[in-house]
Structure 1
Amino acid sequence: MTITNCTMGDIDEIFRLYKIASDFQKAKKKVTVWPDFDRELVGCEIRENRQWKITIDGEVACVWAVTFSDDQIWENSQNDAAVYIHRIATNPNFRGNNFVAKIVDWAKVYAKQDGKDFVRLDTTGNNTGLIEHYKRSGFDFLGIVDLSDANGLPGHYSNAPVCLFEIKL
């Protein structure tokens, strides 16, 4: 298993995994479904080395993105030094490998190397199974909030409350 930055050559695979994740969300019912994400957004993340992947035996097993500010979702966090994890999507051939825990281990090291104090992530809707999964992976569940301004965020943020998770380093 290796963790590396994604390249532009991975973009089709990233979107394939997003589609699989979205279809999985639709099948579960009563969970918020990811919209179609903007290809330029993902391309920008790749160019800025903020899109990551786990590769196993040459195959992309999992992808995610990071950012270093997330003021619309994490209101009043402008001065917080944090790494924010977004859009974890797993290749179905590798489900059950608890990639969230592996991403958490990686993110703690990554954040510390960059002088950050927190690793954070969010999810939309009140998905109790996912909340418990993130808690088991080391995150503190900070609660559920309604965003005051979802303009410019992907569509799923305007339709449901947001669950906030944090690891203090």
Structure 2
Amino acid sequence: MEIKNCLITDVAEIQSLYEAARSLQIQKEMVVWPVFKNTFIKNEITENRQWKILQDNLIACNWAITFEDKEIWGEEDRNDAIYIHRICTNPTLRGNRYIEKIVEWSREYARQLGKRFVRLDTLGNNTKLIAHYTSAGFNFLGIVKLTDTADLPVHYQKEPNCCRFEIDLQSFASR
């Protein structure tokens, strides 16, 4: 198992993973991701912001990162965090706790970049995802109502309740 940047040649496989995620979201009556354009994904790949866990030459899990997220984090976004978005697991490999690998990787990656926090969010009051992320080491900071969503993907405009999570690397290092 290894973690690498995604490649342009991964776009079709990433789109397939997103489609499987949307199907699961519909089945579980969660907030459903929109269909992301290939150009959007390719841009993230070109900027080295799409990552993957490879297992047996298969994308087991992928996610995107950003370095700012003002619409979700407001005043707390001070260029001191990496933000994880769209964690997506291959449906044939669900249940392998890839979130733990992502957390381990993201803590190290954030430290290398001189960042203090690793953050992520999810929409709605999804108690299973809250438990999943907190069990992997994130602190659940609560639910905020988003108000400035015009520049966010459409699913943020449909669900204003946003759960925010954070790992503070300074307090994590002191454990």
Asked if 1:17 is matched to 2:17, the reply is: yes
Structure with more of its chain in helix, by fraction: 2
Asked if 1:40 is matched to 2:36, the reply is: no
Asked if 2 retains the 8 angstrom alpha-carbon contact of 1:71 and 1:78, the reply is yes
Report the equivalent of 1:100.
99
Per-residue deviation, 1:93: 1.5
Question: Structure 1: how far apart are the matches of 2:139 and 2:130?
Answer: 10
Question: Structure 2: how far apart are the matches of 1:144 and 1:39?
Answer: 31
Count of residue correspondences: 168
Q: Select between 99-108 and 151-160 the one with higher mean Cα deviation.
A: 151-160
**Structure 2 portions without partners, runs of 5+:** 170-175
Per-residue deviation, 1:78: 3.6
Question: Structure 1: how far apart are the matches of 2:36 and 2:152?
Answer: 10
Report the equivalent of 1:151.
150
Corresponding residue SS for 2:73: coil
C-alpha root-mean-square deviation of aligned residues, in Å? 0.9
Corresponding residue SS for 2:71: coil
**Structure 1 portions without partners, runs of 5+:** none
TM-score by length of structure 1 reads 0.97
Instruction: Write out aligned runs for 1:103-118 (5 A).
Output: 103-118=102-117
Question: Structure 2: how far apart are the matches of 1:110 and 1:58?
Answer: 23
Per-residue deviation, 1:101: 1.0
Taking only the aligned residue pairs, the percentage that are identical comes to 52
Report the equivalent of 1:126.
125
Question: Structure 1: how far apart are the matches of 2:37 and 2:97?
Answer: 27
Asked if 2 retains the 8 angstrom alpha-carbon contact of 1:62 and 1:99, the reply is yes
Per-residue deviation, 1:39: 2.0
**Aligned-partner residue type, residue 70 of structure 1:** D
Question: Structure 1: how far apart are the matches of 2:39 and 2:151?
Answer: 14
**Aligned-partner residue type, residue 22 of structure 1:** R
Q: String of CA shifts for 1:28-53, please: whole Å, max 9, x gaps.
A: 12x11111113222111100111000
Asked if 2 retains the 8 angstrom alpha-carbon contact of 1:80 and 1:117, the reply is no
Q: String of CA shifts for 1:82-129, please: whole Å, max 9, x gaps.
A: 000000000011111101111000000000000000000000111101
Report the equivalent of 2:166.
166
Asked if 1 retains the 8 angstrom alpha-carbon contact of 2:81 and 2:118, the reply is yes
Corresponding residue SS for 1:74: helix
Asked if 1 retains the 8 angstrom alpha-carbon contact of 2:67 and 2:79, the reply is no
Asked if 1 retains the 8 angstrom alpha-carbon contact of 2:22 and 2:32, the reply is yes
Question: How has the CA–CA distance of structure 1 residues 32 and 144 changed in structure 2, closer, same or farther, with 3 Å as cutoff?
Answer: same
